[in-house]
A and B are shown apart, each in its own frame.
Chain A
Amino acid sequence: KAGVTQTPRYLIKTRGQQVTLSCSPISGHRSVSWYQQTPGQGLQFLFEYFSETQRNKGNFPGRFSGRQFSNSRSEMNVSTLELGDSALYLCASSWLGLAGVEASVRTEQYFGPGTRLTVT
């Protein structure tokens, strides 16, 4: 079974520009989460999508957004890039079982290799 793939792997952008990163989860996984990793802040949760809906969001400004498509592939977008947005952006997928309307069973997450974004 193919793992989580992320494109592009490396990206250089200029301040003020916007960027879109893509993530393809493991086949059958419907949950996709995004994380940002920087030397100063470590790994931080950005948001999670499940069945094309954002289920949970971390503490990041509105410049960070995402979406999920019907095939579970996900994109995240960062607008008006700042130097501090330089980071490794990681995507993780997991299978979620639904137990009732609200509850869901967490399982382990499988991470992609990440996209290294450099903002100059």
Chain B
Amino acid sequence: DAKTTQPPSMDCAEGRAANLPCNHSTISGNEYVYWYRQIHSQGPQYIIHGLKNNETNEMASLIITEDRKSSTLILPHATLRDTAVYYCIVRLQTGANNLFFGTGTRLTVIP
């Protein structure tokens, strides 16, 4: 699975959009981009995933660049409960079912 690079920390004002970047310049054509988050002392929570098209669900939007070398997770209206560590993971859709977590981005939503 390809390696990802994320900023270690970010702040976002409550109610504003939080845009979390992820670089995955070595991604291969059949690797997906997954996002998870982990609120303090809880298990990670799946957020969204995509291959090449932008994706949206009730939690977030995922924007993947045309060359697929980077992506952005967007939380449209951040709340205090969105304060967490966000992990960007690139993985194949088939094969071993294990996740390689990097260090992630610690997002702090400020009142």
Query: Which A residues have a C-beta under 8 Å from some C-beta of B?
Result: 4, 31, 33, 35, 42-45, 48, 50, 55-56, 58, 88, 90, 92, 94, 96, 99, 103-106, 108-114
Q: Are A45 and B46 closer than 8 Å at their CB atoms?
A: no
Q: Which of B65-73, B75-83, B87-95 is near enough to bind chain A?
A: B87-95
Cross-interface CB contact of B43 among A31, A99, A106, A113, cutoff 8 Å: A113
Query: What is B's interface to A at a CB cutoff of 8 Å?
Result: 34, 38, 41-46, 49, 87, 91-103
Docked pose: A114 CA to B91 CA in angstroms: 23
Partner of A55, one of B42, B49, B96, B101: B96
Whether A103 contacts B94 by the Cβ 8 Å rule is: yes
Residues of A contacting B46 in the complex (Cβ-Cβ under 8 angstroms): 108-110
Known contacts A4-B43, A43-B44; is-contact A109 B96 (Cβ 8 Å)? no
Task: Give chain A's interface secondary structure class.
Answer: strand
Contact A106 B41, beta carbon cutoff 8 Å: no
- Cβ–Cβ contact A94 & B94, under 8 A: no
Closest A residue to B35 using CB positions: A108
Knowing that A33-B97, A106-B94, A106-B97 touch, tell me 10 more A-B residue pairs with CB under 8 angstroms: A33-B98, A43-B38, A43-B101, A45-B100, A48-B96, A48-B97, A90-B43, A108-B46, A111-B45, A114-B43
Could you say which of B34, B97, B103 has the most chain A C-beta atoms within 10 Å of its C-beta? Answer: B97
Measured in the bound complex, the distance between the Cα atoms of B46 and A4 in whole Å is 13
**Residues in A whose Cβ lies below 8 Å from that of B42:** 113-114
A104→B94 contact, CB < 8 A: yes
B39 nearest CB across to chain A (Å): 11
* 17 sampled A-B residue pairs with Cβ under 8 A: A31-B97, A33-B97, A35-B99, A42-B102, A43-B38, A43-B99, A48-B96, A50-B97, A56-B98, A90-B43, A92-B99, A96-B97, A104-B94, A104-B97, A105-B94, A109-B97, A111-B44
Q: Which of B45, B98, B103 contacts A42 (CB 8 A)?
A: B103
Chain B residues near A96: list those with CB within 8 A.
97
**Cβ contacts under 8 Å, A43 to chain B:** 38, 44, 87, 99, 101
